[in-house]
């Protein structure tokens, strides 16, 4: 699933930084590359991974290409993670309540 791609994508620290930059404001590739300690092609490749993971969308405007976060993909990942550890957290909650009750 694309959620697994998203999780793998966010495993890389550089991509997390890119994600946070885009969280601040939509940006072009060159702008992101200036903020990061890597070259512009590297940023391009990271953006491709984020795009395939459904976390980011791009839009051509004039000469440049603006990237922004994709709320749909992010929402999907959020829901996926809720189900992912929802069970573990609820059983813990049950135990803590059970313990406070005795």
The footprint of a second copy (CB under 8 A) covers 4, 7-8, 10-13, 16, 19-20, 22-23, 69, 71, 74-75, 78, 81, 84-85, 87-89, 92
Exposed / middle / buried, residue 101 (Cβ in 10 Å: 0-12, 13-18, 19+): exposed
Exposed / middle / buried, residue 76 (Cβ in 10 Å: 0-12, 13-18, 19+): middle
53 closest CA partner among 17, 13, 19: 19
17: Cβ contacts below 8 Å, ≥ 6 apart = 35, 36
16 touching DNA, by CB under 7 A = no
| Binding region for DNA (CB under 7 A) out of 63-71, 72-80, 85-93, 94-102 | 63-71
Q: From the list a second copy, DNA, none, pick the one residue 100 interacts with, judged by a Cβ distance below 5 to 8 Å according to partner type.
A: none
Q: Which of 1, 24, 63, 83 binds DNA (CB under 7 A)?
A: 63
Helix (H, G, I), strand (E, B) or coil at 57: strand
Q: From the list DNA, a second copy, none, pick the one residue 59 interacts with, judged by a Cβ distance below 5 to 8 Å according to partner type.
A: none
Q: From the list a second copy, DNA, none, pick the one residue 76 interacts with, judged by a Cβ distance below 5 to 8 Å according to partner type.
A: none
């Amino acid at each position: 699933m694309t959620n697994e791609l998203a999780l793998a994508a966010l495993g890389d620290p550089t991509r997390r930084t890119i994600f946070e930059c885009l969280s601040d404001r939509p940006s072009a590739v060159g702008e992101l590359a200036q903020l990061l300690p890597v070259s512009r092609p590297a940023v391009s490749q990271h953006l491709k991974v984020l795009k395939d993971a459904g976390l980011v969308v791009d839009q051509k405007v004039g000469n440049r290409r603006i990237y922004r976060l994709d709320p749909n993909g992010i929402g999907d990942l959020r829901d996926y993670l809720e189900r992912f550890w929802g069970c573990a957290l609820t059983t813990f909650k049950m135990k803590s309540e059970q313990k406070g009750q005795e």
